[in-house]
Structure 1
Amino acid sequence: MHKFLKSLLFTFAVSSLFVSCSKDAVEKKNFIAYDGVEYPLTKAYFEGYGQDQPNEGYLIDAYFFSEGINVIGANPNKIDSLSGSGTVVYLELFSNIKDLLEKGDYIYDANQTYLSNTFDFGLVGLNFDLNNGNGSVFDISGGKVSVKTSGTSYEITFDLTESGGKKITGSYSGEVKYQAYSAINNKGVAKKSNHVSDEIR
């Protein structure tokens, strides 16, 4: 009887573990939250633009989109243009490693020093229609972006402040599509926004 009870308890413990793991996996969401409302994110793209000066970081443009945003490009990792409507997050981050967003915290830098582990520009579009510009677009004026890596997967946490003083928080976990431009032109590009970010402004 004692042996049977131990076996039953072990089975229950293992079952609980699997249920708990499954629950954690389900609860892990990709989203941006603003003013008490959550907006989903479903895909992410990084573009590497290299380093302008030896003491500066390497520019990584990071994009996060919801399902309604269509990425147009001949190369599946490259964004030539965007269409559709939904949620858009765009950040200019400066990494310590060329063509790779290094793990760590990236702090907003209003002085635009382009130093590693900073970001100096960000936009968040909510219910934003890229075809006609309707919707809400917020300039980021403060905060932190935290990055964890595991192979080719990223876990990114947003703790941002928009120019009106309200918080924008959220997270993205998963694979990221990546395109490097630094090998093509490594001079002067780190301080220039590309044409895709201009579509969001």
Structure 2
Amino acid sequence: MTSCSDDDSKEGPEVTNSFMYNSNTYEVKDASITDYGADRVEGHDYYYYEFSLTNGSYELVEDSVDPDYFYFQVKGGTYDVNLDLYYPSASVFGPGEYVFASEEMISDGSIINTPFIDWAEIRLDLNNDGIYDGDETIAAVGGSVEVTGSDKEYTLFFELNLEDGRTLSGSFSGEFKYVKD
């Protein structure tokens, strides 16, 4: 007779549906995916998703110039985290550990067949005017994102080094609003 103990189960870190920046914790209330589809990077096939997280809500908006183009706009939020992730496939996005790729890593081919982060940022509406000003956008310069799940149900864990010398870290798990570009 054998039995399984709780010690036998393999559990990862706790999902908090929040992130930490500058010693403050921010709750994530809504999440979206913009599916940009297949892309060629330095002659290699990748599939490109942009994951976004906010404390407001994402509203799907029709572009005023191109009525065939829709995008997500933050409503009632004071921050927005954007993660541009590339998966090595011409047809599907997939789970994995995504590493931050510098322009040099992309051009010299050192990220070939590796899931990578092309761009990541946090935008903060510090003066609560409903507009993310340039000085309220802080780009990532390093770090990683772990992605599990599929379709519109994903779990993200991220730890990013930002250009202001601070760290942005957190997690989210749930259903993402989705639009195909």
Q: Please tell me whether residue 64 in structure 1 is matched to residue 83 in structure 2.
A: no
CA separation of 1:130 and 1:102: change in aligned 2, threshold 3 A: farther
- The percentage of counterpart residues that share the same residue type is 22
Q: Please tell me whether residue 44 in structure 1 is matched to residue 31 in structure 2.
A: yes
* Unaligned residue ranges in structure 1 (runs of 5+): 1-16, 18-26, 182-201
Greater gyration radius: 1
Count of matched residue positions in the alignment of Structure 1 and Structure 2: 152
After superposition, where does 1:20-169 map in structure 2 within 5 Å?
28-53=15-40, 55-66=44-55, 68-73=56-61, 79-98=71-90, 100-111=92-103, 113=106, 115=112, 116-128=114-126, 129=128, 131-133=130-132, 136-149=136-149, 152-169=152-169
Partner of 2:11: none
Structure ranking higher in helix proportion? 1
- SS of 1:154's equivalent in the other structure is strand
Q: Which amino acid aligns with 1:85?
A: G
Question: How far does residue 31 in structure 1 lie from its aligned partner after superposition?
Answer: 0.9
- SS of 2:71's equivalent in the other structure is coil
CA separation of 1:35 and 1:63: change in aligned 2, threshold 3 A: same
TM-score, structure 2 normalization: 0.70
Partner of 1:3: none
CA separation of 1:120 and 1:72: change in aligned 2, threshold 3 A: same
User: Which deviations, in whole Å up to 9, do the C-alpha atoms of 1:67-116 show, x marking residues without a partner?
Assistant: x3452436xxx535344332210111101345643111000001272854
* Paired residues of 1:138 and 1:162 also in contact (CA < 8 A): yes
Question: How far does residue 137 in structure 1 lie from its aligned partner after superposition?
Answer: 2.3
Q: 2 CA distance for matches of 1:86 and 1:69?
A: 10
Q: 2 CA distance for matches of 1:102 and 1:150?
A: 7
